[in-house]
Amino acid sequence: MKGDTNGSFKMGIWNGLIKLQKILLFITSVCVVLCIGFLVVFRYFFKIDLFGMEEIVIIFAFWLYFTGGSFAAYKRNHISIDIVTSFMKKPRQIALFKLVVSFITTVLCFVLTYYGFNMFVWGLTHVAKTAVWNIPWYIPQSSIFFGYLLMSFYFIVYFIIDLKKYILDIKKH
């Protein structure tokens, strides 16, 4: 936006992504629980098999899983090896280690995003469908690409932040 010097536009996009992820996490969580609940109730209480319900559950489960992964990346709650830094004594070593880990994580996430994109495009061009409901497989598989795309975005942002911290640390000492 023209004249926007305080970054409110950028923060609006950032906050909008977070809000969208929270909404998607809530909706997909509720849908997975409801679908599984219906399966259990109908199968064990009414002795009726809801044939094909698994195909619907998998859509919500995929989106839940990969949205959760991207939200964990935003929160920086993803799997990490922080125990290594507990053995380091020098702050510069710790900062360098965190920078290297941040770089490797970012690169790996971009590789997975690339493969997720290829799977998504393949699904769009080949249109494989589920057996019962004929739901195109690109619907659940697209969550892989979009989830990794968001993770890559967050990881690159945090890598830049870690790089700035490391450079500032070097200038201090």
**pLDDT surpassing 50 at residue 36:** yes
* Joined tokens for residue 135: 């739901």
Percent of the chain with pLDDT over 90: 67
Which pLDDT belongs to residue 170? 82
pLDDT at 150 over 50: yes
For the entire predicted model, the pTM comes to 0.86
Give the pLDDT of residue 20. Answer: 96
Residue 1 has a pLDDT of 44
Which pLDDT value is given to residue 50? 86
81 to 47, 100, 102: CA distances (angstroms): 48, 12, 11
Q: Residue 136 forms beta bridges with which residues?
A: 129
Domain boundaries, the chain: 8-172
